[in-house]
Amino acid sequence: MTTRRTDHATASVSRFAQALETAAGPAALSPSSHNCQPWGLGRATSAAARRAAADLTGTDADEYLVLALDRERELTALAAHAVEMEVSCGIYGRILLRGLAAQGWTAAAVRVLDDDGGPGVASGTAGGHPLGAGWPPAWTPLCVVALRPGPPSGERPADLHETALARRTHRGPYGRKPVAPGLLHVLEESGTPGAETPPVHVRHLTERRDLRAFAAFVARYAGRDFGHRAAWRETHSYLRRDTADAAARGDGFTLEQLFGPMSRPRRAAMRLALAPTTMHLLGKAGYHRVLAAGLADLVRRTPAVVTMGFAGQTPARAERLEGGARLADYWWRATRCGLSLHPISIVIQHDDLRGRLERELSLPGRTFFVSRVGVAGSPAPRSHRRADAAVHVSC
Ligand SMILES: Cc1cc2nc3c(=O)[nH]c(=O)nc-3n(C[C@H](O)[C@H](O)[C@H](O)COP(=O)(O)O)c2cc1C
């Protein structure tokens, strides 16, 4: 009897390990600012870690996962990056949980660990971290999820994976034909109605007047980031020499991904122009305004722009993660509908610009995401992921 129960438990554990591996594949392909992939994933396997996770979630479950922010991979040059990092982790967490739900592992409880939580949240647990010893010191725990076997969600894991591969940031021109209003309406719908966190505001700009106003805003202000020394230095540190370099490092982007295919001489000239020191000098001659004008031109010829906003001006961690979850659902759904996205975060990464944009376009709440939406004219190159992207830590 005891043996049979042990066999059953072992089979369930290995079934979960398999399900986790399957779910981690598409999650690892999640988008993140600069492709920095700032997430970490822990699985409670030791008795102490499982007890701590059960206490934190208030739920006796079969499995526990911890979503973390990897501080060694986060962007820090601008204050707004703190929100972007948690939104990126929220995207990853959402796709991971969708992948697990598709295989019959249901989230029975989620405990978001507050910002001031840090080690304090975990007081009383071994090692001062929620899962105890073995937890990477550079990981800030964001939330603990308790999982139980349940009926599969109905989504096919293979579909999630296929969409994850098809979903790419498309930075080139989009067809000018308007996106069907019915389609935009579907995208605006929340994937998790009745969630406890305040709703995320999703708005589409499709009127010519609004799109022109947004393009003018980009032309006027998008140069700010190119001219911001710390921000540009950080962005530049994610610019990879070529595809081989990007593949070897498994993160960041190439010039072709940002600006499209180019000849070797043009690539050499751009590499020189974008180097932080040159950029600083060229900035004095107004080069950042030339780059902003190019971006504005793309925006002007785009049929739709989506904005997402938190309900309040100071969103708690639960809202930031929910914002990421909402963005994940939106982007995956858009991909399935044949639509592409190209985020334009530059206009919301400085508080004064964000406030101005919200006023000029009457955007509700605190905007955390702005992106072009449309049908891409040509396929985008695949971005790279780190080799250990789908791996989790067991504690
Ligand atoms: C919150 C967030 C903000 C982003 N902001 C920008 C941006 O301002 N400009 C841009 O070109 N891409 C932006 N991206 C897209 C990322 O650069 C992209 O996801 C990453 O390089 C991986 O490429 P992929 O989406 O093609 O997989 C953003 C992505 C996220 C999740």
Domain match, 244 and 178 both:
yes
Ligand 1 in contact with 163 (CB < 6 A)? no
Q: Are residues 299 and 364 both part of a single domain?
A: yes
User: Which residues, including other chains, have CB under 8 Å from residue 246's CB and lie 6 or more apart?
Assistant: 240, 252, 253, 254, 383, 384
- Say if residue 271's pLDDT is above 70: yes
Q: What is the pLDDT of residue 195?
A: 64
Residues 6 or more apart whose Cβ sits within 8 Å of residue 64 = 43, 44, 49, 50, 53, 54, 57, 144, 145, 146, 147
**Residues 52 and 156 grouped into a single domain:** yes
Could you tell me if the CB of 345 is within 6 A of ligand 1? yes
- The token pair that represents 16 in the structure block: 């979960």
How does pLDDT run across 34-77, given as a tens digit for each residue?
Answer: 999 999 999 999 999 999 999 999 999 999 999 999 999 999 99
Q: What is the CATH number of the domain that holds 118?
A: 3.40.109.10
Mean pLDDT along residues 3-28: 81
CA of 192 to the centre of ligand 1 (A): 23
Same domain, 218 and 328: yes
129, pLDDT greater than 70: no
Under the banding of pLDDT at 50, 70 and 90, the label for residue 356 is: very high
**174 is a domain residue:** yes
Of 1-15, 177-191, 368-382, the one with minimum mean pLDDT is 1-15
Establish if 25 belongs to a structural domain: yes
Is 382 part of any domain? no
Indicate whether 177 and 157 sit together in one domain: no
User: Which residue segment(s) compose the domain that 103 sits in?
Assistant: 2-163+387-394
- Predicted confidence at residue 3, as pLDDT, reads 44
Span 93-114, average pLDDT: 97
Q: Would 179 be classed as within a structural domain?
A: yes
What is the whole-number distance in angstroms between the Cα of residue 171 and the centre of ligand 1?
10
Contact criterion met (CB below 8 Å) for 141 and 56: no
Mark whether 234 and 262 lie in a shared domain: yes
Same domain, 187 and 151: no
Q: Is the pLDDT of residue 320 over 70?
A: yes
Q: Are residues 331 and 184 in the same domain?
A: yes
* Residue 207 three-state SS: coil
Please write down the long-range contacts of 148-154, taking CB distance under 8 Å and 24 or more positions apart: 148/61, 148/62, 148/63, 148/105, 148/106, 148/108, 149/12, 149/62, 149/104, 149/105, 149/106, 150/104, 150/105, 150/106, 151/104, 151/106, 152/101, 152/102, 152/103, 152/104, 153/98, 153/101, 153/102, 154/102
Ligand 1 centroid to Cα of residue 265, in Å, is: 26
Q: What is the DSSP string of 220-275?
A: HHTHHHHT-HHHHHHHHTTEESSHHHHHHHTSSEEHHHHH----HHHHHHHHHHHS
Instruction: With beta carbons less than 8 A apart as the criterion, state whether 347 and 145 touch.
Output: no
> What's the per-residue H, E or C state across 289-309?
HHHHHHHHHHHHCCCEEEEEE
Q: Is 22 part of a structural domain of the chain? A: yes
Tell me the pTM: 0.93
Same domain, residue pair 215 and 247 = yes
357 lines ligand 1 (CB under 6 A): no
Residue 380: inside a domain, yes or no? no
**159 and 176: one domain?**
no
Residue 125 has pLDDT above 50, yes or no: no
Tell me phi and psi for residue 305, to 5 degrees: -130, 135
User: In this predicted structure, what is the pLDDT of residue 122?
Assistant: 40
Cβ of residue 254 lying under 6 Å from some atom of ligand 1:
no
Predicted confidence (pLDDT) at residue 342 exceeds the cutoff of 70? yes
Q: Is residue 217 part of a domain?
A: yes
Across the chain, mean pLDDT equals 90
Which residue's CA is minimally distant from atom 21 of ligand 1?
35
Is the residue at 198 inside a domain? yes
Q: Are residues 284 and 353 in the same domain?
A: yes
Residue predicted with more confidence, 137 or 215? 215
Per-residue pLDDT tens for 205-256?
999 999 999 999 999 999 887 778 899 999 999 999 999 999 999 999 999 9
Residue 352 tokens, joined: 């004064």
Going across the sheet that includes 105-112, the strands are: 105-112, 139-149, 63-70, 39-43, 393-394
Q: In the prediction, which pLDDT does 189 show?
A: 86
Say if residues 317 and 82 touch (Cβ distance below 8 Å): no
Q: Is residue 279 domain-shared with residue 200, that is, in the same domain?
A: yes
Overall number of domains in the chain: 2
Question: Is the beta carbon of 171 within 6 A of some atom in ligand 1?
Answer: yes
